[in-house]
């Protein structure tokens, strides 16, 4: 007979996985008696030190304010309190801090939760391995299969998939060249840019958004000459930080209750956002951003607007993201995708705007000539072992030479794939069998189902992997809310028990 209590496996130990773990232990501490016997956190990296925040280089900042980075959905000031108590931090809740502080926070809260779990009699373990698949055993329990020749399997009554981003995108024109020794598929960890680059190198950074900004800052600091390029040529907009709204914004909040079938939905979303900005400033919205065609001049003008304190639009961004997340959860998939396409311009430049601290750093590199933005994307690319890369620009004559190419175009979202027989879920990044189909549907409970309307499986998804249902699935305040919901379900009664909903 199986011992009392459920065995839980959380796949992924970044922010989402850590948040699920911490809030699960908190839920168990409030319960009459632990219904969970063990919790395993599966990740090859140290807890908290994922791709998003797991870099100790102090130049890399969180892009969101400290006040919106709590792991706990019911304690929004937890990260700020941690910074002040553990590090003597004297900043404001709107400030951005080095990403390593977020990783340390996750790791420390995990360690505290482990001690609480031990006191409750709940076993915990950090399994330093990557998960490849989730199968079904003969007794109906799930088996989390780990990568490696041994093929170790962890039995579980509940599995929470919290895998973040790991697979870099392949930029246009480079599909056959990614194995070149002077090509880096990502700027992270930052040590790769220090250890593998010759002093004073000429480096081509593919991309002009957040990852590319990080790459340019890291390379420029170390004395390299950097060229950024992308099809759009657009740098992110500039703001103080991604912080909480300064006060309630009813027009923006009403976005969540708009009619999902309204043919004018997109126009109404935009109208509500503009009305929200008007509540924060009498300055016309068109005068809160630059329209300069040159990306460097636009960066300079938008930085000056933030420095002058006349840039109010960032104050609506978190409220708008959260309202669209709530609205998107009830939209049919096609309409949700159409909504996101309509506002791609907002997502690409404004929802993911850079902090003004990084804007000043970039301007310093532009002003010294250490950094430039190419006027177009490469027309042709060739690689040579002797001197790196030859890049041909549209309308140009001789190719331009670079010693290194850094891909900073971002990462593909994580996905689950179901095997042809329906018995196994494969995690993206591993070996996916022929005929497997992507899991492209989640319902409100964030549980995996074989098809819409089918009975739920004892597998939940939290964090970035919820992108199949949730817009802006990496928004940290929403991730913490998802983690709390999942944690409470896993800690609660099982299916068949009074008040229960969990399948086993």
Average pLDDT over residues 414-432: 88
d(CA 74, CA 18): 15
d(CA 463, CA 7): 21
Please determine, for residue 1, whether its predicted confidence score (pLDDT) is greater than 50: no
- Banded model confidence at residue 212, pLDDT cuts 50, 70, 90: very high
Average pLDDT over residues 245-262: 94
- Banded model confidence at residue 2, pLDDT cuts 50, 70, 90: very low
Please determine, for residue 503, whether its predicted confidence score (pLDDT) is greater than 60: no
Query: Of the ranges 37-51, 206-220, 255-269, 483-497, which one carries the lowest mean pLDDT score?
Result: 483-497
Dihedral angle computed from the Cα positions of residues 440, 443, 444 and 448, in that order, rounded to the nearest 10 degrees: -80
Instruction: Provide the mean pLDDT of the chain.
Output: 92
Q: In what order do the strands lie in the sheet with 388-392?
A: 380-384, 388-392, 400-402
Residue positions counted in the chain: 504
Q: What is the pTM of this model?
A: 0.93
Residue 198, both tokens: 């010759």
pLDDT of residue 194: 85
Please determine, for residue 184, whether its predicted confidence score (pLDDT) is greater than 50: yes
Instruction: Kindly tell me the sign of the dihedral angle through the C-alpha atoms of 265, 241, 51, 175.
Output: positive
Instruction: Kindly tell me the sign of the dihedral angle through the C-alpha atoms of 169, 171, 172, 174.
Output: negative
Structure confidence by residue, pLDDT tens digits, 56-83:
899 999 999 999 999 999 999 999 999 9
d(CA 66, CA 212): 23
pLDDT of residue 192: 87
Please determine, for residue 385, whether its predicted confidence score (pLDDT) is greater than 70: no
pLDDT of residue 246: 87
pLDDT of residue 497: 55
Please determine, for residue 295, whether its predicted confidence score (pLDDT) is greater than 80: yes
- Per cent of the chain over pLDDT 70 is 95
d(CA 237, CA 110): 35
- Banded model confidence at residue 504, pLDDT cuts 50, 70, 90: very low
Please determine, for residue 185, whether its predicted confidence score (pLDDT) is greater than 90: yes
> Tokens 């549209």 belong to which residue?
394
pLDDT of residue 384: 73
**Beta carbons of 476 and 469 less than 8 angstroms apart:** no
Structure confidence by residue, pLDDT tens digits, 90-110:
999 999 999 999 999 999 999
Average pLDDT over residues 296-319: 97
Buried b (16+ CB within 10 A) or exposed e, 265-287: bbeebeebbeebbebbbeeeeee
**Beta carbons of 180 and 407 less than 8 angstroms apart:** no
**Beta carbons of 130 and 44 less than 8 angstroms apart:** yes
Tell me the C-alpha to C-alpha distance, in Å, between residue 152 and each of 2, 11, 98, 141: 20, 14, 36, 15
At a CB cut-off of 8 Å and minimum separation 6, what does 155 contact?
A: 7, 137, 141, 142, 143
Structure confidence by residue, pLDDT tens digits, 114-160:
999 999 999 999 999 999 999 999 999 999 999 987 779 999 999 99
């Amino acid at each position: 007979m199986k011992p009392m209590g459920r065995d839980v496996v959380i796949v992924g130990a970044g922010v989402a996985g850590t948040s699920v773990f911490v809030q699960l232990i908190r839920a168990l501490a409030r319960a009459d008696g632990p219904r969970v016997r063990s919790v395993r956190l599966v990740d090859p990296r140290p807890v908290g030190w994922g791709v998003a925040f797991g870099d100790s280089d102090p130049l890399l900042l969180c892009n969101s304010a400290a006040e919106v980075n709590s792991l706990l959905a019911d304690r929004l000031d937890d990260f700020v309190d941690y910074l002040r108590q553990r590090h003597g931090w004297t900043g404001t809740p709107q400030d951005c801090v080095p990403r390593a502080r977020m990783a340390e926070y996750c790791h420390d809260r995990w360690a505290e939760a482990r001690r609480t779990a031990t006191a409750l009699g709940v076993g915990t373990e950090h399994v330093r391995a990557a998960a490849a698949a989730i199968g079904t055993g003969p007794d109906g329990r799930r088996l989390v299969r780990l990568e490696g020749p041994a093929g170790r399997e962890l039995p579980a009554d509940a599995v929470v998939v919290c895998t973040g981003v790991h697979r870099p995108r392949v930029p246009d024109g480079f599909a056959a060249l990614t194995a070149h020794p002077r090509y880096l598929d990502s700027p992270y960890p930052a040590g790769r840019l220090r250890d593998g680059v010759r002093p004073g190198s000429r480096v081509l950074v593919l991309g002009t958004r957040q990852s590319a900004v990080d790459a340019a800052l890291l390379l420029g600091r170390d004395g390299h000459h950097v060229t950024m390029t992308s099809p759009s040529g657009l740098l992110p907009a500039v703001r103080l930080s991604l912080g909480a709204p300064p006060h309630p914004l009813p027009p923006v909040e009403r976005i969540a209750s708009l009619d999902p079938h309204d043919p004018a939905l997109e126009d109404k979303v935009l109208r509500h956002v503009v009305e929200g900005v008007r509540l924060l400033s009498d300055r016309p919205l068109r005068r809160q951003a630059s329209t300069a065609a040159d990306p460097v001049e636009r960066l300079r003008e938008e930085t000056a607007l933030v420095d002058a304190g006349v840039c109010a639009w960032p104050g609506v961004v978190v409220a708008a993201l959260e309202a669209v997340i709530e609205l998107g959860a009830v939209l049919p998939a096609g309409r949700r995708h159409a909504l996101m396409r309509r506002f791609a311009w907002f997502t690409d430049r404004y929802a993911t705007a850079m902090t003004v601290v990084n804007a000043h750093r970039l301007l310093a590199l532009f002003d010294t000539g250490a950094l430039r933005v190419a006027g177009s994307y490469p027309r042709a690319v060739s690689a040579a072992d002797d001197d790196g890369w030859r890049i041909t620009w549209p309308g140009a004559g001789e190719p331009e030479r670079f010693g290194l190419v850094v891909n900073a175009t971002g990462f593909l979202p994580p996905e689950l794939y179901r095997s042809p027989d329906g018995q196994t879920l494969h995690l993206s990044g591993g070996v996916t069998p022929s005929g497997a189909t992507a899991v492209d549907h989640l319902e409100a409970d964030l549980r995996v189902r074989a098809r819409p309307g089918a009975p739920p499986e004892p597998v939940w998804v939290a964090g970035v992997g919820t992108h199949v249902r949730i817009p802006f699935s990496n928004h940290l305040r929403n991730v913490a809310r998802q983690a709390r919901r999942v944690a409470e379900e896993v800690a609660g009664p099982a299916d068949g028990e009074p008040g229960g909903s969990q399948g086993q």
